[in-house]
Amino acid sequence: LHGRSAVADVPYEPLAIEPAGDDKTTRYECLCGRLFELHMIDDQGRALAAPRLDDAAQLMQDGYAPSESNPRFHAQMVYAVTSRVHADFRRALGREPGWGFAGEHTRLKVFPLGAQEENAWYDTTAGELVFGWFERENMGVISTALMHDIVAHELTHALLDSQRPHFMEPTGPDVAGFHEGFADLIALMQHFQYREPLMAALADSGGTLLAREQGERPAHWLCRIARQFGAADDLDALRRADRTPADLSYKRKLEEHDMGELLLSAVFDAFDTVFRR
């Protein structure tokens, strides 16, 4: 549909297909670059075909075509979004962000179809990003690896973890909320890098980001987080950047994702104020 797809430019690097797995019975292919290892194995231990992302013939077609049933596209989606977000951090910081996990491996391990769960997560101990998948009777299989916002959100957790020792330790009630809100904010602001969907969203809303006055329509794609995930539970989105003090206000015991939504809404409100001026 119009405005629903985009080609993402990512920093070039040589990629290699390497064998992975801890024993001879679970050997599988792993796509390796300088920063990431895409482990092509599902939650049942079944090996999946690794994508040839730097193959010349594939690049001439702008990569694998969008497909919910092709594991190679799942891996491509994750690689594209994580590479782009990492490049933005590197450019903003003026240095390599590094990784926060300890151990011998230097690359972040990524499992595009790693768990049959309604979840995705960053594991600082193992140095892994794991993306889950789940089923809905009316929607079929739903993969978090195909959700731009979820991928950007989880990588941001990994990048925040690298910035300061013990930065993820819950030393106060706001720490987890800050991490969730900051990760959502990065995911949301990434929307503005994709010209075609951005223009389509602004055209649909008449140039409005947030609806502040009567008759205004919000640009839903620009102020919502993980609309695909929310749709699975008949919600508009997993989280929103247009919360107001009337429906969400600060409390010390606020759940961490709600606390993050509060931070997200405050920053996006300021962003919208600047945009209007």
pLDDT recorded at residue 25: 63
The answer to whether residue 7 scores a pLDDT higher than 50 is yes
Strand-strand pairing, 120-123 and 128-136? antiparallel
Q: What CA–CA distance (Å, rounded) separates 224 from 85?
A: 18
CA-nearest of 32, 30, 28 to 46 is 28
- Top mean-pLDDT range of 57-61, 107-111, 196-200, 213-217: 107-111
pLDDT higher at 77 or 137: 77
CA atoms within 13 A on the CB side of 254: 21
pLDDT recorded at residue 167: 86
Specify the pTM. Answer: 0.93
Between CA 142 and CA 148, with CA 147 as vertex, the angle to 5 degrees is 170
Q: What is the largest CA-CA distance in the chain?
A: 64
State the average pLDDT over residues 208-231: 91
> pLDDT-derived band of residue 23, with 50, 70 and 90 as boundaries?
low
CA-nearest of 260, 215, 269 to 242 is 269
- Top mean-pLDDT range of 25-29, 219-223, 266-270: 266-270
The answer to whether residue 26 scores a pLDDT higher than 80 is no
State the average pLDDT over residues 249-263: 92
The DSSP result for the chain, as a single string, is -TTS--PPP------EEEEE-SSGGG-EEEEE-SSEEEE-B-TTS-B-PPP-TT-HHHHTTTSSPP-SS-HHHHHHHHHHHHHHHHHHHHHHHTS-------SS--SEEEEEEEESSS-EEEETTTTEEEEEEEEETTTEEEEGGG-HHHHHHHHHHHHHHTTSTTTTS--STTHHHHHHHHHHHHHHHHGGG-HHHHHHHHHHHTS-SS--STT----GGGSEE-HHHHHHTT-S-SEES---TTT----TT--HHHHHHHHHHHHHHHHHHHHH-
Q: Enter the tokens of residue 110.
A: 């990524």
Q: 173 Cβ partners below 8 Å, 6+ apart?
A: 252, 253, 254, 259
Summarised one tens digit per residue, pLDDT across range 172-192 is 889 999 999 999 999 999 999
pLDDT recorded at residue 233: 83
The answer to whether residue 130 scores a pLDDT higher than 90 is yes
Q: Are 110 and 78 in contact (CB under 8 A)?
A: yes
Q: Are 190 and 216 in contact (CB under 8 A)?
A: no
Using a 10 angstrom Cβ sphere, with 0-12 exposed, 13-18 middle and 19 or more buried, the burial of residue 162 is: middle
pLDDT recorded at residue 34: 94
The answer to whether residue 1 scores a pLDDT higher than 90 is no
> pLDDT-derived band of residue 2, with 50, 70 and 90 as boundaries?
low
